[in-house]
Amino acid sequence: MRDADVRAEVRRMLAREYANDPEARIVEEMGVWSGSVRIDLAVINSELNGYELKSDRDTLERLPLQAELYSRVFDYLVLVVGKRHVKKASTLVPEWWGVTIAVEKEGGISLERERIPKRNPSPDPYLVAQLLWKEEALEVLECHDLAKGFYGKRIKEIHERLATELDFDVLAAEVRVFLKQRSAWLRKTIPCQLDMSVNTNLNPRL
């Protein structure tokens, strides 16, 4: 079972699931913690959902750190894992994560749901705010009359102000709006809502 085969099948599943949702954007390699880790696939609509893929050829060495950071940002998370790793991998992610098993069958990959995801009980407002580029973060501050004195501040201080001054649901909604409306990822125009690479640390002004 190849990593690319699992990814392709998950992408097909998400494309079908969100085909009738014009607000949804499906992205790949979304950076978290200033791009230091990147979740394999994410869906941005009225929620922020993440999908981390571990095929039978992968190791689980990085999964505990990935799980810790992703669990501070995403509303729902699903681990898609090959049968070889499913038992161990399921113990390395929080119980509220969903688990889907990727099974190699004649004709391709089958995705079998093992555990249904539950909503993240404790997202981190600062890490959610950190998904915004500097000019986006300032625009949010302006909309809520919180920008005075912060135009010359470091991006860290701007993110901290967002995280501490805004109600979390308001902050999360603002972040999703900007993530969905970006027309250029990796400094190039993206022609489709699918197949986009997302790196939150590529803005030269940060």
pLDDT tens-digit map of 123-175 = 999 999 999 999 999 999 999 999 999 999 999 999 999 999 999 999 999 99
Phi and psi (nearest 5°) for 35?
A: 80, 5
Query: Which residue ranges does the chain devote to CATH 3.40.1350.60?
Result: 3-115
CA distance 57 to 2: 7
Residue 161 in tokens:
């102000």
What is the pLDDT, as a whole number, of residue 46? Answer: 94
Terminal-residue alpha carbon distance, the chain: 40
Residue 136 in tokens:
């986006």
Q: Which residue reads 């749901």 in tokens?
A: 113
Displacement of CA 162 from its chain's centroid (Å): 19
pLDDT, tens digit, for every residue of 73-119?
A: 999 999 999 999 999 999 999 999 999 999 988 878 999 999 999 99
CA distance 117 to 97: 5
What is the pLDDT, as a whole number, of residue 34? Answer: 74
Given the DSSP bridges, would you call strands 184-185 and 48-54 parallel, antiparallel or unpaired?
A: unpaired
CA distance 32 to 160: 16
Sheet holding 98-105, edge to edge: 108-115, 98-105, 76-82, 48-54, 37-44, 25-32, 196-197
When the pLDDT of each residue in the chain is averaged and rounded to a whole number, the result is: 88
What is the pLDDT, as a whole number, of residue 194? Answer: 42
Q: Residues 25-51: what's their mean pLDDT?
A: 91
CATH number for 3-115: choose from 3.40.1350.60, 1.10.3720.10, 3.30.420.140, 3.40.50.300.
3.40.1350.60
